[in-house]
Every structure is written in structure tokens, then in C-alpha cells.
Structure 1
């Protein structure tokens, strides 16, 4: 039986009790975080998003009061008097600065400090600078609380120095940051998705440390499986590799390492019925272990805990979901922030 967290609709948000607290989202993509805050009872005032396609999705599904389609660098330079007054009275400023240069896949250190296209068609940017552009917005708007999500690779190896610089900047601006490493599989999300969250509170609020500990039972793929994706073509190398799979294999990389003596197709994941699905990434392939088919779009939507009536317009479902924070993951965090911090603060 499908649990409500995986099988919800945008229309359900109308029945969620409101807590009177306000959020603004940066690097919002299609609104994964936004929907999480809404599920927790918050009001979302608007967003900043550079990608026209993502902004179209956000407007279609989130109906923001104050949408800003522009680079974060342009937003932070808007004169204060030209911004809505509500943005200077935020309970939470949310953001997921794109930092693919810290991903544990590829030669990440060689990418640091260089300009890259985050997505084809956009201006080149130094992706490792975007977090500090976001912090400039924090300094500008002075929200009570800041929530910033990012990849696990930020706390591995040399990137730890970058994390130290982020924490130092928070403190210089009058915030006390905490760093959490969370796995969505322990938070009611049918997906192993490890992410780090900087959660910082303004020092003048004199709040104690936030405690986040989630222990929900992991959800197996067979519990949310539905529909069927496109089949593997019988004459392809992918299909021939799939035929050589073994129960211990988690990806096609395991197959090629055993059979061909090299790791390839590392982005092609084997999805087992009795295991928790891997992280939904925008560029990975999910293939069912027990049949030569990709998983379905409805699988991806459920794995990411997106609403079943989300309108993807002409966008690729996996791309949008892979670029987003699972709404139920953010809902859990937002609920704890309200219970431990905001509930006792004057609005």
C-alpha cells in the first residue's frame, strides 16, 4: 500500500495547517524544497532561478508571489528599496547552490576555480563561487534562519577547507551555523540520497542548537514500483551486459568490471525490488534488475516524493527530479526547525 508521503497531490496542500512562517527560495529549480516547506505549513513568498525552463515549471506548479528569473549575482545587486519589504522579514532563506564541482564523481579538484556551464545555454559561472553569492543574499536580507543544501562531496578531502570558509562567513555575518549530513532513506523518502545541510540561525535570536535525528524505516523499491519504462533494445551492448548481471551487482559498472575487466557505464544503476533505490540524479539511468526495462516516470516521481499531479510541461521528469531536493526530505527538516526554533519566536 502506498503511504501518503509518496502518493500526494498539489491540491493536498490546501488542507495543510499553516504555521504563519515565511520562506524565500534561491536556486529553486522546479520547487522540490518549496513543496517540502509547503507540506510543513510554511508560506513561500517566491524564488530566484536562472533557468527559464525551471522557472516556467516553478511558476506553473508553485504560483510564486515574487519570482525573480535571473542569476543570483543580479538578484543580490538589486537595490534594497526595489525589493518587496516582505523579503526583509523572512523566517527562512532557502537555497541549494549548484556545486557539481564538489561531486565525488570525476576529477573534481581540477574543476575548482574555473568557469563552467551549469547547464547548456546558460552563462558560464564559477560554480564554487555560487555558495558565497548566496551568502551575500543572506547578508542582504538578514533572515532569521538559513537552510542551504548541497552534495556530500563538500565534506570530503580538500573540500573541507571550503566548508570552513562557508562557516567562517556565516559567523562573520552574525549567524551560528550547524552542518548536518542526512540520508533521505531515514526520512520517509524511498531513496538513498545523502546530502549536507548548512542550517544557521541569527545569533541575536539566542537559539540553542538544532537537533536532527531521523530513523524512519527504509522503503524498498517494490513498495513504490509502478508502471514500466522503455525496454532495453535486444541488440544493444546495454542489453547484453544486463543479461550477465548477478544478484550482488548494483550497477553496470559492477558487471563490466567482472566481465570486461574495466568499470564503465557507472551511471547505469540496477534497481532491485528488495533494496532502497539509489540517488535520483539528472544524468543517471535506472534499469530494473528483474526485467530489461528502465524504471517508469511514475517510479521516479515516487522515489523523489514529487506530487503525482506535478506538471512537468515539456521537461524531462528525471532531470527535474534529479535536480531537486525531495519534498518529503525538506518537510521533515522544516518541521523540526519550526518545532525547535520558530514556534517560540515572535512572528
Structure 2
């Protein structure tokens, strides 16, 4: 019996037909994008990652030929003589610049242009600069295609001006950019994760416009649910709220507003077997609607379409998955880039 696409193993990659196209990944985290490219038949040569814990995970699970553990600001300044020649003949330069300053939660505008200490590498950085650091790398390496993933908050409000600057920068370094708003639930991923995908082809290649349309049937939470979740503390606030839930409630905030007169714990989501799960975030809490417990690590791994044999070592499973691109999402995008462009 054929397993569903979200139920897979790293060992399955050995059976994927290879077409020889190459990828280098920036801001690689645990390698969600990397696994997507590999599932689509690409060879991922290496990565740039600032976070030592994420780099240990990446090396353990992906065995890169050319790993660079350093800030991208340092990587882009390396002399060409210190870079592998293969990086100057890339099919795709991939990157997911850390994007928390563009999230729609909190007072995001006040974070722009300032240095803050973020979890990414435990370093003080200006995260709104990182996209342009990534494009500096693209200008240096001149890959055939550039792929960058980010949150949908970039096209809301004042952030739209930032997107215009990104698109202008891509054009100035010799690329024709396209911008896609994609929902992973249409791509076989068991969650409604909306993301912006920047895809740019080098001008001299004269590729036609890329078309991305995905209409795969939804995968419900009940389809992937498995394993035992951590029980809610009996008598605790969340436990009490859970017992007051109604079918219309999406999160604990709905319950607290109804019974306590104020919204609290809205980042504690209720997961229903008959619905597609909401976006898996690294810092939110997810509670099963039909039993008083948090979702299991098995649930998290399947929701993010990570492989069942991924070695998380000492890292938190939800953090790694929530910070990553779902491999199945990137696989679908990478397949179309190869089919419509690179295979020609």
C-alpha cells in the first residue's frame, strides 16, 4: 500500500530519480526547504546558517558538502577563492530570511530598522536587512533561479513598500521576479500555511512566466493525528477552558472572552479532526479538541511534512518544524520550476 506524501522517511530519498540540478540554501534552519528540493530530484550542495544548534541538525540529517555556519553578512563578503566553484553554477539559490518583523502579530512596525535580539542564532540583528543580504549573495553567485519564502505580512500595510524594494533590487541585479501567494493546504500539506514566494529567473535565460496552480485535496487533522500528547494540567486554567469549549471556538481566546469577559490565550489553538489545521507556529500551543491534551510530536512532524526518521537531537520538535518550510510545499514548487524552466 502506498503511503501518503506526508508520511515519509529520509531513507526514501535514495529512491528519488535525480536530474542533476543544484541548490544552495540560505537561512536553512533544520532543512525544510532542503528536503523539499531533494524530494523533487535536486542536489542540495550546502547551506548558510547562523544558529549552531540548527547547523548541528542540518549536518546530522542532510550531510551537506559545503556547510557555512556564519551570519549571511559574513558569508556574502567571503572572497570567491574561498567559495566552492560549484556555487557559481547553481540552478537555484534558496532562502527564507527570518521574518518575525513582518508578522502580523504585535507592534511589528516598531521593530523595523532597529536591532533586536532574536532566537535566530541568539544574535542581535536587523532582520529587515537580511532579505537584501540574501540578494547580495544572489548578485555574487548569479544562480539561474532565486527562490525566497516569507510571511504574508509583507504585503499588508506599510510592508508593501518593502516588497517593492525587494522586487526592484531583483531587477537591478539582472532578474525577472514573480511573486506568489500560496497556501500549503492546496499542495498536500496538512495545514493552512499561507506564504509569499518570490521566484526570479535570470534575464539572459529568457524563461516564460512561471505558472503555479495547486489543487490537491485537503488533508484533515484527523488524517494525520497520532501519538500521545502531553495532558493538560488537571484543574488548570487551560484545562477548565477546554471543558467549556464549543464547536465555534477556534482557540482558548474565544472561550475566555465568552466566559471571562476578556480574550486571553488566543495563541492556544484547538485542533479538530474534521478540519485542516491552522499554520503551525514555533511559539503557539495546540490542543486537541476531542481530548484534553496538547498535540503530539508525531502530529507536529506530520503537520509540517517532516520525515518520521528526522533526528531532532536536543532541539524542540515544534520549534524546528515551526521555523521551517514544509518539505512537501517546497517540493511542489521545485517540481514546477524544473518542469517549466530548468528541464528546457
Tell me the TM-score range normalised by the shorter chain.
Answer: over 0.9
Q: Distance in 2 between matches of 1:23 and 1:260?
A: 52
* Secondary structure in structure 1 of the residue aligned to 2:47: strand
Q: Secondary structure, in 3 states, of the residue corresponding to 2:97?
A: coil
CA drift of 1:253 comes to 1.3
Aligned to 1:196: 196
Q: Does the CA-based 8 Å contact 2:51-2:121 persist in structure 1?
A: no
Structure 1 residue 2: Cα displacement: 8.2
The answer as to 2:140 corresponding to 1:140 is yes
Do the aligned partners of 1:2 and 1:223 also contact (CA within 8 Å) in 2?
no
Match of residue 162 from structure 2: 162
TM-score, length of structure 2 as denominator length: 0.98
Cα distance in 2, alignment partners of residues 221 and 119 from structure 1: 29
TM-score (norm 1): 0.98
Structure 2 counterpart of 1:32 = 32
Equivalent residue, structure 2, for 1:340 = 340
- Partner of 1:164: helix, strand, or coil? helix
Does the Cα contact within 8 Å between 1:252 and 1:268 map onto a contact in 2?
yes
Structure-2 change in CA distance of 1:145 and 1:120 (3 Å): closer
Q: What corresponds to 1:267 in structure 2?
A: 267
Listed as ranges, the matches of 1:257-336 within 5 Å are 257-336=257-336
Aligned to 1:149: 149
Runs of at least 4 residues off by over 3 Å: none
In structure 2, how many angstroms separate the alpha carbons of the residues matched to 1:264 and 1:142? 48
Give the Cα–Cα distance (whole angstroms) in 2 for the partners of residues 245 and 280 of structure 1: 21
Query: 1:224-243 to 2 correspondence within 5 Å?
Result: 224-243=224-243
> 1:34-74 CA distances to partner (integer Å, 9 max, x unpaired)?
00000000000000000000000000000000000000000
Q: Deviations over 1:89-137 (max 9, x none)?
A: 0000000000110001111111111111221762200010000000100
Match of 2:183 in 1: 183
Contact 2:98 2:120 in 1 (8 A): no
CA offset at residue 270 of structure 1?
0.2
| Partner-residue secondary structure (3-state), 2:119 | coil
Q: Kindly indicate whether the alpha-carbon contact (under 8 Å) linking 1:95 and 1:134 is maintained by their aligned counterparts in 2.
A: yes
State whether residues 50 and 121 of structure 2, in contact with CA within 8 Å, keep that contact through their aligned partners in structure 1: no
Deviations 1:274-299 (A, max 9, x none): 00011111101110001101111001
CA contact (8 A) 2:90 2:144 kept: yes
| 1:19 has 2:36 as partner | no
Alignment check: 8 A CA contact 1:2 1:224 kept:
no
Determine helix, strand or coil for the equivalent of 1:157. Answer: coil
Q: Kindly provide the CA deviation profile for residues 252-280 of structure 1, in whole angstroms up to 9, marking residues without a partner as x.
A: 11111222222211210000010001111
Query: Aligned residues, how many?
Result: 344
Unaligned runs of at least 5 residues, structure 1 = none
Change (3 A) 1:160 1:80: same
1:171 aligned counterpart, secondary structure: helix
Residue aligning to 1:110: 110
Secondary structure, in 3 states, of the residue corresponding to 1:234? Answer: coil
